Structure 1
């Protein structure tokens, strides 16, 4: 009976890579919980933490490893609970139209590629402070897209439509409310009126970083014309605004979109080049090389370069995560430890999860650490294989190995989150990533060093040639027939099982553990392959209906509710556009009315101001079992007869609905039931459904 505990105690020194795994169990338990953990759960988790801490420190040696594992699980749960509670802020429970005053804290682009601003220090007309959100995000349309420069710190006023963050567009789908909660977004909306400046931006690090970023971005674009320059500016400064949607689509289709988002790859290439340049540069000066530890000096300079890159690109989640990873590795060099090892990756993961536990459920965290672990494990046998490979072929072999390892590790994660697999992504990465590391990033660093002397142009020309070639590769590869294959969204259990199996197979030191990991991976893939999509989907606001047909899902509208339509089709593993999905029904929507069939049930979708009255007249003569979906409220006192009505009043209680037909009748799954009673979707922060109308 003691053999397993003795084996754990003997292997204690090698178990650090498993620490973030056990912390993830606790964080994952929090996000998977059907209801928000209350004081009882906090108290029990705290008691377990203290007990396990005592056992791990003072208990019998054989119990120290199990106690540490339990401590990490409880700590992960408590960290997630504390993080969610610490971000508590008012969330709008009403729709609002009127003046919005606030300070700009972020500028980016929306789903429809429109510029948008995030504001804090919000003031809303006729809205008390306890109901005013901490932050709101407003997309700029029409006249709001102006030439006047917007920058962080600027206090502005505008007239906007605001509404609460929406829940999942389908049961079990992506939960924007959760994302908004952890971003402290209490309202989202749009404006078509100009953004007026009330106060200029005060000085500060954020404003200095933004102005420096935009100045460098404009300088790079001036030196490198067209999309190659826009791509180079995005790489070096994080300013993605000049990159057009066609470029983004080509990069996604070639599985090269990771090159345009500042992440671990860019931070690693930058710091690696700076580290190598400083170290080898000092090696050329014998008096210094013989007296100084050039390795540590290079690590300090590389860390400073990484910090400046973080400041310049902005403290977004991916960049912060990348900085933590490279900082841990550079500090390991200063501490005379191996820079690239599973231990350093584990420490970086623990730091990221401690700061932002919600990162665990984000694709960036999963892909970054998945790729890093796969690369480290793959290069362990490289030292043994390298002498057997001819020297001219070693760079090619190393490139193939790294691309294959990182691609295999991230492909299922990307497919699960984005519902696409780039069939020729490996080819594109083999052509583009080496150029990024050997030409583009080094040229960018050299240009930055030479810019104060006015000598950056040659380096920028080289950089432009590299980015132009990468975009050419993206265009060619993404244009190949079958370049992108769509896959359906997996069941909720697939990714956790797949991740646990992958970690066990890669990190496990015992054969049985690696075998168990392989079995878990296979189980997850089987569950994914057998995933069923809902036969009928109804949007939470009654604006769209989708019925699964022989050719794929048929949508009730050719336009409108575009985000919901795209999300449904992507989750189905369907590459069709909304208009094509509507055309599958072979009918046209007339007067805001669409008719279809769901099994034996006639189905009608009505929209517009007169929809409730038209629906009541229709149901007076409808056959039994007719399904009626409205984007308004059913008229008071009107008889429903044989109609099963899904009006706005009903959908507000349920959220989006998934309907399947069984032998016992229709089985309905509500998005609110699947999401559970969580802190980010609770009601009661205002008058539900109330509307505040105000004028400037």
Structure 2
């Protein structure tokens, strides 16, 4: 049998199963666009699209077995173009300098920062002495200090405050999370903080009605359910997380229950399922009606309407939009008499999400949602085909919950570990204790509260909801405080997750013996992950912090300050130690000198060849024999990853090299700095 015959037989076996690969090849094109270190021109983008369409157009001239490959090439090209189009569509000004002064704008979002401070997002921004065409579309401010003199922040209120603003920062290390890219796609052109009182400029006007409704509902929930219970209930119904304490959030993360806060596929599915079931029961109570109408289709339509309302009420963020699309596909399938949950349905939902929000591919939310959904559909579909029983009828709901939690946990654990550098060892126990309660008490009680709200009786539903939330928070606290509840793991190289995903999808989607090659790819990804080498030295993009790898773990140059950078470095190392502990190891840093502040720079005399000197303030003295980096130089490179060689430090990567010069990056031109350095060296000689 020739190669052509084998290939033909292999491709014929995929008939009816190829649609599942549509979002996969779209994702390849999208990932290709975001992996570039240069910005493609308009002509290049059109050429990619034209090439993909031409290949598909001539696919009929190819043998039947090769036509799917032509379609795959077209899908890759479409994915690339979708990502490029979306990048230009959301374009907006990014602040090009550090700003201090009056900030005026309209409140369009409220949440809490990493330091537990209230954080406001403003649009219709006005900055003093900044031209409108250079003013960011949106800015985000964390409110620190004494806030007793503040007005009450409310949706749509136009406010003014004196604050510090700067452009969104780059990755904390080369290859790390790219906040600049994230900010670009949410049209956030500046971030900062303020310590002065918040003042009102103008009362809320027409518009932002849904936002006002969300915050009013959140306030009502918190007036009935106090503390973290009310904050949790508000988060899962309105998307408002501003009332949850930092300690409760940490407990939820350590116990792998933080996903219950996000209005995701679980919540949207439970909400729709409760409404769908209630409508089916309601129709069944009227025999004369149920015999004359398509009850299942109407119940699915009613659940879809409620899901759309839930989408609007929760704020409609990317995660919730993704969840709504997945639920909408399933409900629409029910309405037309098709199987509600199938791999084809998951592929349709993923294709729609990638078409609307290509940037979602790069985030953990998309990856974890579709990994869990795909694994669940595949496992339960296989059990259905093999006619594997889940036990006695009365025990089937329990076994289904156990299997669901186990499968979803296994499917998402590597992705969560890669993005968040931690594994919750008792996460399965916590989820088995809480997820069923979400379905049988918390979500039904939320629906009941919404139904009773027009009559002023929502307290009944909220009281029942509070019982379930209280248990969830208790479990989170209990599990988080168990010994070794959270184990930290090293951050993988950038292509580990794509290789893992390719193996996972091959195992599930491919038909034939080659599907088992997916296990080999998945195993290879874990082998590569286990061999990950972390940089010897890390330098922050401002020179405020330096981290040196030692035999006892990474040593940090400061015990306070640059806390976000310190936490990310340590977590990426797989080190759960805090910044203070890491700073006690600094005496083992060897040939690295960190100058923090003007006094340290003034006292600095000289250095030797083979040393690395990092300063948090500019150093004017040049021509030194050591490697010197100060804020001016670091602005052009971003954060550094350095290898300590026998003859001294050697730059391995800069954040600029990894991130590239893209629409969302704003690296300054290094040429003026180099010219000043050459001029100063001539003068010194």
Matches within 5 A, 1:537-616: 537-585=538-586, 597-598=589-590, 601=591, 603-615=592-604
Tell me, yes or no, if structure 1 residue 628 matches structure 2 residue 617. Answer: no
Q: Which of 258-267 and 81-90 deviates more?
A: 81-90
Deviation at 1:665, TM superposition (A): 4.2
Give the aligned partner of residue 683 of structure 2: none
- What per-residue deviation string (whole Å, max 9, x for no partner) do you get for residues 614-661 of structure 1? 22xx21xx44333221111112xx355433221222212211111112
Deviation at 1:675, TM superposition (A): 1.4
Conserved? CA contact 2:636–2:668, under 8 Å: no
Give the aligned partner of residue 496 of structure 2: 494
- Cα separation, 1, equivalents of 2:536 and 2:665: 26
- What per-residue deviation string (whole Å, max 9, x for no partner) do you get for residues 522-580 of structure 1? 01000110111111111111100111112211111111111111111111111111111
Give the aligned partner of residue 640 of structure 2: 657
1:476 to 475, 478, 482: 478
Tell me, yes or no, if structure 1 residue 109 matches structure 2 residue 112. Answer: yes
User: Residues 82 and 57 (structure 1 numbering): CA distance in 2 closer, same or farther, change over 3 Å?
Assistant: farther
- What per-residue deviation string (whole Å, max 9, x for no partner) do you get for residues 344-379 of structure 1? 111111111111100000000001111000110110
3-state DSSP of counterpart to 2:598: coil
Give the aligned partner of residue 429 of structure 1: 431
Give the aligned partner of residue 408 of structure 2: 406
Give the aligned partner of residue 675 of structure 1: 659
Q: Which of 330-339 and 662-671 deviates more?
A: 662-671
3-state DSSP of counterpart to 1:634: coil
- Cα separation, 2, equivalents of 1:498 and 1:664: 38
3-state DSSP of counterpart to 2:359: helix
Unmatched runs of 5 consecutive residues or more in structure 1: 587-595, 690-696
Matches within 5 A, 1:240-255: 240-255=241-256
Deviation at 1:144, TM superposition (A): 5.0
Conserved? CA contact 1:167–1:175, under 8 Å: yes
1:65 to 51, 63, 68: 68
User: Residues 289 and 177 (structure 1 numbering): CA distance in 2 closer, same or farther, change over 3 Å?
Assistant: same
Conserved? CA contact 2:610–2:648, under 8 Å: no
Aligned-pair Cα RMSD in Å: 2.2
Deviation at 1:464, TM superposition (A): 1.4
- Cα separation, 2, equivalents of 1:69 and 1:145: 59
Give the aligned partner of residue 92 of structure 1: 95
Deviation at 1:263, TM superposition (A): 1.0
- What per-residue deviation string (whole Å, max 9, x for no partner) do you get for residues 76-110 of structure 1? 00001111122222212211111122222222221
Matches within 5 A, 1:49-448: 49-56=52-59, 61-143=64-146, 148-204=151-207, 206=208, 208-383=209-384, 384-387=386-389, 389-448=391-450
3-state DSSP of counterpart to 2:277: helix
- Cα separation, 2, equivalents of 1:56 and 1:336: 34
- Cα separation, 2, equivalents of 1:216 and 1:154: 17
- What per-residue deviation string (whole Å, max 9, x for no partner) do you get for residues 433-486 of structure 1? 001111111111112112223443333222211111111111111111011000
3-state DSSP of counterpart to 1:269: helix
- What per-residue deviation string (whole Å, max 9, x for no partner) do you get for residues 384-413 of structure 1? 455472233322221221111100110000
User: Residues 123 and 686 (structure 1 numbering): CA distance in 2 closer, same or farther, change over 3 Å?
Assistant: farther
How many pairs are equivalent? 668
2:44 to 38, 41, 45: 41
3-state DSSP of counterpart to 2:575: coil
Conserved? CA contact 1:93–1:684, under 8 Å: no
Conserved? CA contact 1:421–1:485, under 8 Å: yes
Conserved? CA contact 2:390–2:400, under 8 Å: no
Conserved? CA contact 2:17–2:509, under 8 Å: no
3-state DSSP of counterpart to 1:381: helix
Higher relative contact order (CA 8 A, sep 6+): 1
Deviation at 1:280, TM superposition (A): 1.9
Deviation at 1:11, TM superposition (A): 3.1
- Cα separation, 2, equivalents of 1:388 and 1:433: 19
- Cα separation, 2, equivalents of 1:265 and 1:623: 59
- Cα separation, 1, equivalents of 2:59 and 2:274: 42
- What per-residue deviation string (whole Å, max 9, x for no partner) do you get for residues 219-239 of structure 1? 223333332232222222222
Conserved? CA contact 2:550–2:589, under 8 Å: no
Conserved? CA contact 1:235–1:261, under 8 Å: yes
Give the aligned partner of residue 666 of structure 1: 649
- Cα separation, 2, equivalents of 1:298 and 1:388: 27
Tell me, yes or no, if structure 1 residue 26 matches structure 2 residue 26. Answer: no
- Cα separation, 2, equivalents of 1:354 and 1:73: 12
Deviation at 1:307, TM superposition (A): 1.0
Conserved? CA contact 2:612–2:649, under 8 Å: no
User: Residues 355 and 641 (structure 1 numbering): CA distance in 2 closer, same or farther, change over 3 Å?
Assistant: closer
TM-score normalized by the length of structure 1: 0.92
- Cα separation, 2, equivalents of 1:490 and 1:458: 48
